Chain A
Amino acid sequence: MELISPTDFVKSKVQSVQEYALLAVRSVGNLFNRPLYVADIVQQADLIGFGSLRIVLAAVFFTGAALALNSASSLQRFGAMTVIGQLVSVGIVRELGPVLAGLVVAGRNASGMASELGSMIVTEQVDAMRALGTDPMKKLVTPRVIATIVMLFFLTILGDFMGLFGGAFVVSLVLRLDTHQYWSSTWQTLEFSDVFTGLAKPVVFGFIIATIGCYYGLSTKGGTQGVGRATTEAVVASMILIIAVDVFITRLLMITLGT
């Protein structure tokens, strides 16, 4: 492995952050510039939204079920089984729904974007696009950012419902408790701040997934091996960022919403 000096290492990292920031800003700025590639947005929405639907629903459903089971074993000791719905709903809607949906979409789509754009880079298709008078940022990045944000938002809503159904499934068939009580406590516990927090996160996560996937894809160097490397790095970076940013958003919204 080639050794590089600490100065060069830091410079390259700073440059990467700068390039990522520029890509992120331009991806949003392009929303207000013509042309807006609506057909590409719809195509990406289909790929990201419907393509990820099954896996997101399954992941959050079983997490909701597992959360109910784990909560039950603790709550049973205090004779507080009636609050199981509250625990599941707050846990799923505020935290697990958006984070799990984000991680699943990151694993599936950040990698897909990085590999697709990376392949286009190494086969000079992106250069060809520029040569043919198309801005790759408008044609490739902005549609993916819009589609990911919108679809992750709705995937999270559907995922939240599936998580609550997962909890209901355990409450009804495993714990043999009253499901009516579960649903009413679930419903009554949720406040505006919970729902707002749970729906603000996928917007930020969607932006992270798409911009990171596109950034690593468009920065690909070194042929097919480079595409593989870009794909892996995109998934790792987007997942770490989702988990880290989640903490900051949670805290920020707690302060903002006074919860």
Chain B
Amino acid sequence: MSIPTLPIERPTLADQRPPTDAVVFDKVELAFEQNTVLDGISFRLAHGETKAIFGVAGSGKSTILKLALGLLKPDAGRIVVLGEDITRMKEDQLFDLRRRVGIVFQESALFDSLTVRENVAYRLMEEGDIPEEEIEDRVREALSFVELERTVDLYPSELSGGMRRRVAIARTIITHPEVLLYDSPTGGLDPVTSNTIIELLVKQRDVYKTSSLLVTHRLQDAFTMGTHYFDRRENKMKPLPPDSRAEVPMGFLVLRDGHIIFDGDLKELRDTQDPYIREYIS
């Protein structure tokens, strides 16, 4: 797959990445009181890969994302993110790592007392030593990536659900994180808006080569990501020829009762004989 360079592309850390996985879960266990959510799950997310995580409600999909960011601590097992073992890291140490990892929350989690500009610029303003002009430029660039440049002065309450998700994506990508975690980014949205969001995710994957974990209930979204690429020349998502689909760095995980019952690519998922997974994807 040969993809020409777009003006928005800039050199990323992708080119200097060490030969390790972006995220590693090794026999991770977590229970809330008496309820076991994750029971010894292990998987690897390679650099540049996007892995979609499926599972019924309450199967621990969002929990995996929070664990990967250190927002929750596992009861047992080991989690390595960008080469750093975060399992026993203290909160202060995690703040440095979180500058390299971004998350888009299920309900966007925008700060409702801040404007879109302030939300998107939040992380840059927290750095404290970035000039105003540079912040403004980067906010415009991030908002242009999600095609919401006109909303800079609006508050989150003035935006639609889909626009809020896109602002959340802009807030996350403004620092060009090496790993992105998406928690149901299309949940509750209409098909057209969902498609726009998925196109942004594909764009992020193919333009910035960002490693991503995507939690979703919508199988068609993950399948779209596995069967499409982002054409930088035409600046839109296009379907891949069937014989090129294996080139897309896209994996799938299926969770059931705290265990991973499937970890493979799109072809393996379609060919699986597991009756539960067949029923799930049918």
Please report A residues at the B interface, Cβ cutoff 8 Å: 35, 123-125, 127-135
Name the residue on B nearest A35 (C-beta). B128
Contacting pair A127 B109 (CB below 8 A): yes
Contacting pair B123 A124 (CB below 8 A): no
Tell me, yes or no, whether B238 is within 8 Å of chain A by CB. Answer: no
**A124-B107, A127-B66, A128-B105 given; A133·B99 CB < 8 A:** yes
Contacting pair B112 A125 (CB below 8 A): yes
When distances are taken between beta carbons in the complex, the residues of chain A under 8 Å from B102 are 131
When distances are taken between beta carbons in the complex, the residues of chain A under 8 Å from B110 are 125, 128
Tell me, yes or no, whether B91 is within 8 Å of chain A by CB. Answer: yes
When distances are taken between beta carbons in the complex, the residues of chain A under 8 Å from B3 are none
Please report B residues at the A interface, Cβ cutoff 8 Å: 66, 69, 71, 91-92, 95-96, 98-99, 101-103, 105-107, 109-112, 122-123, 126, 128, 171
Contacting pair A132 B107 (CB below 8 A): no
**A125-B109, A125-B111, A127-B105 given; A132·B122 CB < 8 A:** yes
| Shortest Cβ gap from B115 to chain A (Å) | 15
A–B Cβ pairs within 8 angstroms, 15 of them: A123-B107, A125-B109, A127-B105, A128-B103, A128-B109, A130-B91, A131-B69, A131-B98, A132-B122, A132-B126, A132-B171, A133-B95, A133-B98, A134-B95, A135-B91
Give me the 10 closest cross-chain CB pairs, A-B, nearest first.
A128-B109, A124-B109, A133-B95, A124-B105, A131-B103, A133-B98, A132-B123, A125-B109, A133-B99, A127-B71
CA distance A224 to B126 in the complex (A): 29
| Shortest Cβ gap from B270 to chain A (Å) | 34
| Shortest Cβ gap from B8 to chain A (Å) | 22
Name the residue on B nearest A130 (C-beta). B71
**A35-B128, A124-B105, A127-B71 given; A133·B123 CB < 8 A:** yes
CA distance A56 to B147 in the complex (A): 49
Contacting pair B105 A132 (CB below 8 A): no
CA distance A135 to B112 in the complex (A): 18
When distances are taken between beta carbons in the complex, the residues of chain B under 8 Å from A135 are 91-92, 95
CA distance A35 to B127 in the complex (A): 10
When distances are taken between beta carbons in the complex, the residues of chain A under 8 Å from B92 are 135
CA distance A191 to B110 in the complex (A): 53
When distances are taken between beta carbons in the complex, the residues of chain B under 8 Å from A125 are 109-112
Report the tally of A-B residue pairs with Cβ distances under 8 A: 48
CA distance A174 to B244 in the complex (A): 94
When distances are taken between beta carbons in the complex, the residues of chain B under 8 Å from A35 are 128
**A123-B112, A125-B112, A127-B71 given; A134·B126 CB < 8 A:** yes
Contacting pair A131 B91 (CB below 8 A): no
| Shortest Cβ gap from A110 to chain B (Å) | 19
CA distance A124 to B102 in the complex (A): 14
CA distance A173 to B101 in the complex (A): 69
| Shortest Cβ gap from A116 to chain B (Å) | 9
CA distance A35 to B125 in the complex (A): 12
Contacting pair B66 A132 (CB below 8 A): no
CA distance A59 to B103 in the complex (A): 48
CA distance A132 to B91 in the complex (A): 12
Contacting pair B71 A131 (CB below 8 A): yes
| Shortest Cβ gap from B32 to chain A (Å) | 11
When distances are taken between beta carbons in the complex, the residues of chain A under 8 Å from B95 are 133-135
Name the residue on B nearest A136 (C-beta). B91
CA distance A132 to B121 in the complex (A): 11
When distances are taken between beta carbons in the complex, the residues of chain A under 8 Å from B128 are 35
When distances are taken between beta carbons in the complex, the residues of chain B under 8 Å from A132 are 98, 122-123, 126, 171
CA distance A132 to B126 in the complex (A): 9
CA distance A131 to B66 in the complex (A): 9
When distances are taken between beta carbons in the complex, the residues of chain B under 8 Å from A133 are 95-96, 98-99, 123, 126
Name the residue on A nearest B106 (C-beta). A124
Seed contacts A35-B128, A124-B107; 12 additional CB < 8 Å A-B pairs: A123-B107, A123-B109, A124-B109, A127-B105, A128-B105, A129-B111, A130-B71, A131-B71, A131-B105, A133-B95, A133-B99, A135-B95
When distances are taken between beta carbons in the complex, the residues of chain A under 8 Å from B109 are 123-125, 127-128
| Shortest Cβ gap from B261 to chain A (Å) | 28
| Shortest Cβ gap from B279 to chain A (Å) | 31
When distances are taken between beta carbons in the complex, the residues of chain A under 8 Å from B66 are 127
CA distance A134 to B101 in the complex (A): 13
CA distance A128 to B109 in the complex (A): 6
CA distance A131 to B109 in the complex (A): 11
Name the residue on A nearest B96 (C-beta). A133
Contacting pair A128 B111 (CB below 8 A): yes
CA distance A187 to B103 in the complex (A): 61
When distances are taken between beta carbons in the complex, the residues of chain A under 8 Å from B105 are 124, 127-128, 131
CA distance A35 to B105 in the complex (A): 26
Instruction: Identify which of A35, A130, A133, A135 gathers the most chain B CB atoms within 10 Å of its CB.
Output: A133
